[in-house]
Structures are given as structure tokens and as C-alpha cells.
Chains A and B, each alone.
Chain A
Amino acid sequence: MTINSKIQNINCCDHIARRVGDIAPSGIRKFFDLLASMDGVISLGIGEPDYPTPYHIREAAISSIENGYTMYTPNSGIPELRQELSKHLKNTYNLDYADSQILITVGVSEAMDLAARALVNPGDEVLIPDPCYVSYSPCVVLAGGVPVMIPTCEEERFEISAEKIEPLITEKTKALLIGYPANPTGTIMPREKLEEIVKLANQHGLIIISDEIYSRLVYDCEHTCIATLPGAYENTVFLGGFSKAYAMTGWRIGYAVGPASIIAAMTKIHQYTIMSVPTMSQVAAVEALRNGETSAAEMVADYNRRRLVMVKGLCDIGLSCFKPQGAFYAFPSIKNTGMTSEDFAHNLLMEEKVAVVPGNAFGRCGEGYVRCCYATSLKELYEALERMERFLKKRGASQAATFQV
């Protein structure tokens, strides 16, 4: 009795660690809850492929379970997978990564957290593009660091540049955390601009953490892997995964490759917190690397068609949108509607049951934009565009916008 009453007196909120409590609860949480409670919604808010994992990959995992291959694996991943990955990176980018430079992780999400924790001392600054994927800043904050945002804008296709980065560098700057092709903008970085950024990073002794989860999803162009650029290999932690290329989001598997010392530090944290990535997922990833290219290529071709439909559709109904060359997002401007991103998303959901993600969820520079994921069936895309047009027409905002190529 006494123990119970004592427990009840504790205000749990006071016990939450400050660095966690200080992370502002996302303002769009309410919007998501509302969305979750509604039926008949066409969602352009889902950041994952709409395909199930190709069957041969699923089958590999099933047989691993059937054969009882269900125990822990080595911390850094099963040797077969590390070898396959090493081969894959050699064939795709002509990059050499030794066994000691490879760590299999629970998605890029874990890899990023490990990289931040392995590199950041309290107060260290990490440069991050704005807008960017939602977990970049929190990862840095949770590691004790200070995120410093690199503002970008639509006029420059949301690209970052050495000129933009240089004035933000201080003696506390430790690393640059970037991800291209980018979520939420679909931006890819031109090679020359990346080369200058690498040069700048080297001048200031910065580590580059590069999230290349969308590397397989590029259209009309080739992906530039940062680690292949002159002077980059030695100071780049290259994060990749299987989720987007092989439609394997739920398997939670990715990897980090890079300088042996950093990978060793990351592995140390991984070993004490995760131990090893689920065995079946690793077996599935081996199959994906060995035989998944055909399915991946088919999916990319399909995303490309939807991308073209989406971008043209958005422009036709009056939302200007630069042509994204990677990932599966369009990031149209909604500024001419006079609404904020959140109001736009909220009203669109209530009036027409189409879900898009307010751009400000991805940073201040995302305000005035919404993220539309086109990894959904063409039928739904056309229907969503029709509903959006009706929504805009009601407000007299629908006039074909300039189609920027």
C-alpha cells in the first residue's frame, strides 16, 4: 500500500531526460491523428514504396525461418551479407570497403543515430540542409550536438552549396549530415556542387555523413555517391539501405560504410544497444543484392512514370513544382493559395480527403510547400489531382503554373 501511494506521487514528466523533453513535439502530430481516424482518404503522405517486397526476397526470408536460421548473428552482420554488399559497392561505384569498414544496421535510421552518437561531443555543431528528413536534427540533438541548418530554396532547386555552408562553419562544427536524393524535395545534387562541398569539408576537417537511402531512385540521371568524389572517401560515412530500392521498409535493414575507425566506434554502440540486425532481414537483404536488380529496375521505371504524371498534374492545377530527379516526392509550392502549409494540408484533408504532408514538418524552409509522395497507384494519383484541383478552384487559385523543367 505505502509503496503504491509513493509511486503515484511521482510526476513522471519531471523524470524525462531534458534532452528528450526539449525536442519539441511535432506540431503536425495532431494532423496525423486526424488523418488516421478518417476513411476514404487518398494518402500522398506515405514515404514508402507501394509495392510489397519482391516475392523472391520474401521467400529467402521464409526459408531462413523454416531452416531454423533464427539466432543472433555477428554484431556487424552476417559475413555473406557484408561480402555481397562489398561486391555491390565495388560494382556500382567502384568503391573498396574492407570487412572492417562495413556495419549492417537496423535501417539507415539506426545508422544515422550511430554516426551522430559516435562523432558528436556535447556542443558540437552539425550542418544539416533545411528542409530535410525529419530525424536528422533530433538525432544530432539526442547525441548532445547542435544542429545548424543550411537554408535552401526552390529557386535553387533546394540544393546546398559550398558558399551557403562556409559562413555557417565555426570551430565547433564537426560534421555535415546530408541526404540526396532528398526527402522531402526529391532534389539531387549536381556533382560539381558536391565536389566543392567535399573540398570545403576537407579544408575544415569535417566529417560528411551521407544518407543515400534513395540512391537507386533517380530519374534521367545518375546518382552521385559522395564517397566516390575526390578526397571524400577518407572522411565520409556513407549510409545506405534496402528499404526504398527493394521495397523493404518493414524489414528495417540498412548499412553504414566508411573509415574503419568511425565504423568501429559505431559498431561499439550497435553491439551494446542492438546486438545484431534481425537474422531473417539479413538473409532477405542477401537475396535482394544477388537477384533484386530486375525488380528494382521495374519499380524505378514505374515511379518515373508516376513522377511525370504528378509533376505535370500539379503544375496543371496551379501548383508550381520543380521537377524532382530523385526519391518519390514532389514538393509543390502552395504559396499562391495564401495558406500556410499546415492550413493547406488540413483543409485539403477535411474538404477533399487527400493527405499531403505540410512542408514545415521538414524545416522552416519547407514552409509554403507540401510533400506529395507519388509512390501510389496511377488511379489514385489521378483521383488525388482531380480532388486537389476542385479544392483550388473553390478558392480561385487554380491557374496552370509554370512548368519548370
Chain B
Amino acid sequence: MLNKILRLLEDDGRLTPEQIATMLGTETSQVKELITQAEKDGLILKYKAVVNWDKIAEEQVWAIIEVRVTPQMKAGFDAIAERIYKFPEARTVMLVSGTYDLAIIVTARNMHEVASFVTHRLAPIEGVQGTTTHFLLKRYKEDGVVLDDKNKGMRQKVVL
């Protein structure tokens, strides 16, 4: 039941416990309880909106930064990751397999700020061997949502 609730909330964080209870054929009180517990246990971290920033004239750049690091004795990659995620510019920090180790998603007001983050904050960290910065040019799909869905409205209005 908890997994089903989490899946629904992951898709639409604004669903009410009543709505979720109806969809899953259970009691509202049970849904409320499980959600409260999940929030307490840190299973639900926060509720947010998926925004189509491309439609907003505010200047903001996104970058994906690949970071190659030397793992440290005992702490492995965790210590470096921790140093990196403390920077507010880093929205997302992940350890990944492949030709580099950490993937960071960074947002800033302009390219200059991103460059400054990389050269002044990221690169000097001990253990960071090198970085590759990819600036985001265009977004097509975000969190499962196609941003400019050309195929919407192709259905007939009535079919018997």
C-alpha cells in the first residue's frame, strides 16, 4: 500500500489523502497515517512542482558536470560528494558508474557563474582529478513529462 501511495504522490504531489484513498480502495485515515509516517521517516523528502523554465524569461542556466575523483581511504567517494553537495549551486549530486564518478547538476543565473563554480569551488577540492561541463541547451522531457507535446489533441471528441 505504501509503495502505491508513494508512486501516486511521485506523479502528483497535490493529490489529497481522500483522492488517494478512493483510487486505491482504502480508508482516508490509513492513507493519512502512512503519508505522515513516510514524511517522518524521510521517505518523502519534499513536494515540488515540475516547472517548464524554457517558457519563463528569467535567465537561468543548467549544467551537468562530470567529475572524476580519486576515492579516499575509508571514506571512498562519500567524503568528496559531501563536500560538493554542500554548495547550494549543486542541485543534484550522484555517484555513477562509467568513465567518470560523480554527476552534478548545477543551476546558476548565467554561464559565468557556472564557470566560476567549477574553477573556484569544484576543481580545487582535493581529490578532484578533472571535470567536464555540459551546458543544457534544450529540454525535451522532464520527470516523465514531454514539454512540448505535439501529439496532444489528436483524439476524436467522441467515439462510441
Contact = CB atoms under 8 A, between A and B. Distances in A.
B49 interface: no
A46 B25 CA distance: 25
A133 B23 contact: no
Interface in A127-152: 133-134
A195 B8 CA distance: 39
A357 interface: yes
Nearest to B8: A305
Contact of B158 (A35, A52, A249, A308): A35
Given A52-B151, A378-B12, A355 B22 contact: no
Nearest to A373: B159
B160 interface: yes
B63 to A, nearest CB: 29
B19 A309 contact: yes
Interface in A22-45: 32, 35-36, 41, 43, 45
Contacts of A47: 159-160
B132 to A, nearest CB: 31
Contact of A309 (B23, B158, B159, B160): B23
Instruction: Count chain B CB atoms within 10 A of each CB in A35, A52, A305, A382 and give the residue with the most.
Output: A305
Contacts of A361: 160
A36 B25 contact: no
A355 B151 contact: no
Interface string B15-58: 00001001111000000000000000000000000000000000
A308 B8 CA distance: 14
Given A308-B22, A308-B23, A308-B25, A48 B159 contact: yes
A133 B160 contact: yes
B156 A46 contact: yes
B155 interface: yes
The B contact surface, by secondary structure, is loop
B74 interface: no
A227 B137 CA distance: 57
A32 B159 CA distance: 9
Contact of B24 (A41, A48, A133, A305): A305
Interface string A242-255: 00000001000000
A46 B22 contact: no
Contact of B160 (A50, A134, A249): A134
A45 B159 contact: yes
A45 B158 CA distance: 5
A43 B157 contact: yes
Contact of B155 (A48, A305, A306): A48
Contact of A357 (B12, B24, B25, B160): B160
Given A357-B160, A361-B160, A50 B23 contact: no
A45 B159 CA distance: 6
A292 B158 CA distance: 27
Contacts of A382: 19
A46 B158 contact: yes
A41 B157 CA distance: 8
B109 to A, nearest CB: 33
Contacts of A117: none
A382 B15 CA distance: 11
Contacts of A45: 157-159
Interface in A163-204: 183
Given A308-B22, A309-B23, A36 B151 contact: no
A45 B12 CA distance: 25
Interface in A337-362: 355, 357, 361
A35 B157 contact: yes
A134 B22 CA distance: 31
B160 A36 contact: no
A355 B25 contact: no
Interface string B134-160: 000000000000000001000111111
A8 B19 CA distance: 63
A25 to B, nearest CB: 14
A312 interface: yes
Given A52-B151, A309-B19, A32 B12 contact: no
Contacts of A52: 151
5 contacts: A45-B159, A46-B155, A305-B23, A308-B25, A355-B158
Given A134-B160, A306-B23, A355-B157, 5 more contacts: A32-B157, A36-B158, A41-B157, A50-B155, A361-B160
Interface of A: 32, 35-36, 41, 43, 45-48, 50, 52, 133-134, 183, 249, 305-306, 308-309, 312, 355, 357, 361, 378, 382
